[in-house]
Structure 1
Amino acid sequence: MRRFNAAVLVAAALGAALTGTPAHAAPDQAPAPAHAAPDGAPGAAQCTATACHFDVPPGTYDVQVLLGGDTASRTALTGETRRALLPETAVPAGERVARAFTVNVRTPEGEPTGPDGSPGLDLAVGGAAPALAGVRVAPARHARRLFLIGDSTVCDQPGDPYSGWGQQLPQFLRKGLSVANYADSGESTVTYLQNPRLWATVHPLIRPGDLVLIQLAHNDKTTDEATYRANLETLVAGVRERGGSPVLVTPIVRRWFSPDGTLNNNTALLVNGLGVDHPAVVRSIAAAEGVPLVDLTARTKALVESLGVEGSKALYLYNEKRDNTHTSVHGATVYAGLVRDELVARHLVPAGLVRAGTEGGRGSGV
């Protein structure tokens, strides 16, 4: 596959030509005309029918796509390490729909302690009946960044059937807000602060205006309460030192039921072997430090219990791995939607920067 110069704005045309077909988009997001690649073939150098590659350096980029074709289509986009960037979007036959999002490109492209991955920006075209008519990539000039600090329940998981909620969150966000997911499998508050590829790498990247969501608890099984509290306070202080806005997130529940149909008070609700109630500590720090709180423990507990023993299996990897801690793609997507709702409800993210669409639905808005 040929590649393009990073300094050039690129449009890729696949299948039907872009000319002569109106795009259904908000006025401020209408797609610009296609720019031909240097050899005169629009986008042939960057895309195949199922994937696109752009030779851009690490950074934040706005991506604008045109979806649709001669027949009815349903198109979804993922990128980098299996990040969901655009939910499956239905387009009627003969129509074109414009969508835009902002993506973080970095090395390593997935988990911070994982392999580097391929340089540049990679997009994968999926969905039940994909039809990508065009794509443009340009450096994001005024995008806000949402950093994620967490563990395997949050991170960009490298392979099926695993997925962290942070991996699914980008599809709920519009152009102007990117997700920089620095969650890493197996990390506790202790190891996240100690590993130079984690906090020492994230801390200097934070800029004024950035949101930093912190969800660490699952691996603090042997961390005493004083240490756990001090570690979270260190992360909060470090974010504020850089001018960022910390947001504390209580951990997602584990799917462990008691005989009465409610979640087990210890294992499921993250109380470790030393009796440390992790969600309670997080809530107390948020109150004491004036930090916004996303109580994902409470939200996921209510959801899992409402679905019951059988209905909740699909959220986790019980059917595939007998795993009641890690989420499936479906579960991670549902939980990412809960995070989206909390961010909007607490006025941490403007409603105009989020999408309402979910799995299988027609992606809403640009």
Structure 2
Amino acid sequence: MKSSRVLALTVVAAAGLPAPAHAAGPRSVPGVCTGAAPVVCHYDVGPGEYDVNVVLGSRDAAGSTAVQAETRRLMLAETATEAGLFTRRAFSVDVREPESEPTIENVGTPGLTLTFTGAAPQVRKITVRAASPRAPQLFLAGDSTVCDQPADPYVGWGQAIPQHLLRGLTVANHADSGEGTASFLADARLWATMLPQVRQGDVVLIQFGHNDKQTTAEDYRANLTRMITELRAVHAKPVLVSPPVRRRFDSTGRLDDVARHLNGLGVWLPAEMRAVATGLNVPYVDLTADSAALVESLGVEGSKSIYLYNELRDNTHFSGYGADRIGLLVLTRLAELRVLPPRAFRAGAI
């Protein structure tokens, strides 16, 4: 390990005991860092929200550093630093158990793990503190296209969006693979676990459709309506997000009806979701239309990189590149709808 990196990481170990989530005061949390490429740092903290400040760079060497938190959540895009120059960045992290998908046990480790990756990671200083209990959260309820995927090469778009958000807004991703509206409500590890954590003013994005293949229009509407009603009861801000398209082209080079979420019962799920949003006056992100425009603009060949086609012949789940593109579509609409304020986003993100 280079001497500059050793100096950087000895700064991390601040005096004092680990602060519990939402503890008062400015005390930083001590941590232990190991490795060189990647650099992995662990903090013995309980579940909750934490603010992280990092100084990237080295006195002696150029660097190129990206940051992940917990199970492959993308917190900072790869950032270049010249030798002798340093860059400060900050972000907020949701620490929870399990740290990946809610129904998958024994993934990761208790506490907060930060992983500094990239072509040449250089870390000068890290400070971790409990976030303010008044800090807003962005909750995600959805399926495998949204969730914190535990294993490469899968990446959910909810895993990619934190890198575009500034410190002070935490992404709490409760999405889970294989879930539809009914199963998400029925499993005690999902809706019943997430809902008590939602506070007044928090934004909750709800995206379902991929696994509602046999859901009737009436049940789909009823399930979405229940979610909205229960969120409004705790004074949260629900937002409906229609499902992104699958990569299924017809002979004319257009996405077919199944790609656009006509389910097995002949129900146009995005249209049903839009009707619920309109009827209940809920913000609606038409991710089906936005992702269709993106995928069709790239064409049959170009769109393969959005999905895991090249790796797994998978036309539903996203690559890292694709998850970022889809996530940016969502964030752009949230900004346009003024669901999230401009101060929530990193410069140049949208």
The alignment's TM-score, normalised by the length of structure 2, stands at 0.90
Is residue 2:271 matched to residue 1:271? no
- Choose 150-159 or 339-348, whichever is displaced more: 339-348
> Which SS does the other structure have where 2:178 is aligned?
coil
How many angstroms does 1:17 deviate by?
5.1
Conserved in 2, the CA contact under 8 Å of 1:152 and 1:185?
yes
Alignment-derived partner of residue 148 in structure 2 = 156
Give the share of equivalent positions with the same residue, in percent: 53
Could you give the per-residue CA deviations for residues 96-129 of structure 1, whole angstroms, max 9, x where no partner exists?
1110000000011010101143100001110112
Note the 1:95-244 alignment, pairs <5 A: 95-117=85-107, 118-141=109-132, 142-244=134-236
Query: Structure 2, unaligned stretches of length 5 or more?
Result: 17-27
How many angstroms does 1:273 deviate by?
1.1
CA separation in 2, counterparts of 1:138 and 1:204? 23
Change (3 A) 1:17 1:273: closer
Is residue 2:76 matched to residue 1:90? no
Conserved in 1, the CA contact under 8 Å of 2:9 and 2:33?
no
Query: How many residues were matched structurally?
Result: 330
How many angstroms does 1:15 deviate by?
3.7
Could you give the per-residue CA deviations for residues 190-235 of structure 1, whole angstroms, max 9, x where no partner exists?
1011101111111111110100000011000111110011000001
Aligned CA-pair RMSD? 2.1
Letter in 2 for 1:315: I
CA separation in 1, counterparts of 2:153 and 2:8? 36
Change (3 A) 1:354 1:165: same
Note the 1:255-270 alignment, pairs <5 A: 255-264=247-256, 266-270=257-261
Change (3 A) 1:35 1:71: closer
CA separation in 1, counterparts of 2:192 and 2:176? 14
Conserved in 2, the CA contact under 8 Å of 1:14 and 1:43?
no
CA separation in 2, counterparts of 1:325 and 1:79? 25
> Which SS does the other structure have where 1:282 is aligned?
helix
Note the 1:200-349 alignment, pairs <5 A: 200-264=192-256, 266-349=257-340
CA separation in 1, counterparts of 2:154 and 2:79? 23
Conserved in 2, the CA contact under 8 Å of 1:85 and 1:101?
yes
> Which SS does the other structure have where 1:127 is aligned?
strand
Alignment-derived partner of residue 46 in structure 1 = 32
Could you give the per-residue CA deviations for residues 262-283 of structure 1, whole angstroms, max 9, x where no partner exists?
111x210011011110111111
Alignment-derived partner of residue 361 in structure 1 = none
The alignment's TM-score, normalised by the length of structure 1, stands at 0.86
Letter in 1 for 2:32: Q
Alignment-derived partner of residue 24 in structure 1 = none
